[in-house]
Amino acid sequence: MGRLNGKVAIITGGSRGMGASHVRRFVSEGAKVVFTDILVDEGQALAAELGENVIFVQQNVASAFDWEKVVAEAEAAFGPVNVLVNNAGIGAPNKRLEETTIEEYQRVIDVNQLSVFLGMKAVLPSMRKTTNGSIVNVSSLAGMVAFMNQSSYVASKFAVRGLTKAAALEFSQYGIRVNSVHPGSVITPLTTNDLTKEMAAEVNKAIPLGRAAQPEELTNLVLYLASDESSYSTGSEFIADGGLSVQ
């Protein structure tokens, strides 16, 4: 029996990387999944690969209109939504705060932070029709500790952490749990495109476990929070960083 049998899930940023790992695993565990992204070709290919229990929807996660469309399509196809994974996110230019433009800052905030607010707001009416809703907001280790030259990214990820806690308090009356996940270094296209092998090796030296995570290792954590196995966890941070933050 699958750990998500009977559940309907929305996963953003699902066309590749960590998001695609979530989509594949959720389907294998019995969920019906609507996943979204701006990467249309990759999204359509993944949906075709996984079959009838998956729908891909092109989405700008910073658009309230697009969020209404996604939730409506999920309900029409599969019924009320039990699980929302706010996974979509972007990196930020490696710049000092004084060099960061307003436009650069706002783009990161829109995709990483505003999208989480919009997603939770849009899915709430649907999720209230269920009895065991779960929202998983993917933040970052940068939502726990700050990093140099990443002011917009750190601000967005700390905000997701706080927003998660506020929503957990408000949504508890509906039986909906809200938790945040804080990955450290994960091997995905987003994190590896700009790294040489030498740079990656240098990053790994700082991690007590000596390596970056595979996407599937984060999926295991997201799956746990989406499932009823985590029925008494809400408003909490779940860190998966190979021990980096304990030093």
- pLDDT tens digits, residue range 70-127? 999 999 999 999 999 999 999 999 999 999 999 999 999 999 999 999 999 999 999 9
pTM of the model: 0.95
- For residue 213, what are the CA distances in angstroms to 126, 152, 196, 219, 239? 33, 24, 17, 11, 12
Which residues sit opposite 135 in a β-bridge? 84, 178
CATH no. of 8-188+215-236:
3.40.50.720
pLDDT at 221: 98
Which residues sit opposite 10 in a β-bridge? 34, 84
pLDDT at 205: 86
CA atoms within 13 A of residue 41's CA, in its CB half-sphere: 0
Crossing angle for the helix pair 115-127 and 64-78, nearest 10 degrees? 30
Which residues sit opposite 183 in a β-bridge? 240
In angstroms, rounded to a whole number, what is the distance separating the alpha carbons of residues 35 and 23?
Answer: 7
Question: Which residue is associated with the tokens 């998983």?
Answer: 136
Element spanning 223, H or E:
helix 215-226
- pLDDT tens digits, residue range 53-66? 999 999 999 999 99
pLDDT at 160: 98
One-letter amino acid of 70: V
Residues recognised as catalytic: 153
- Domain definitions of the chain by residue range: 8-188+215-236
Query: What integer is the mean pLDDT of 174-186?
Result: 96
End-to-end alpha carbon distance in the chain: 40
Predicted confidence band of residue 198 (pLDDT cuts 50, 70, 90): low
**Cβ proximity of 226 and 134 under 8 Å:** yes
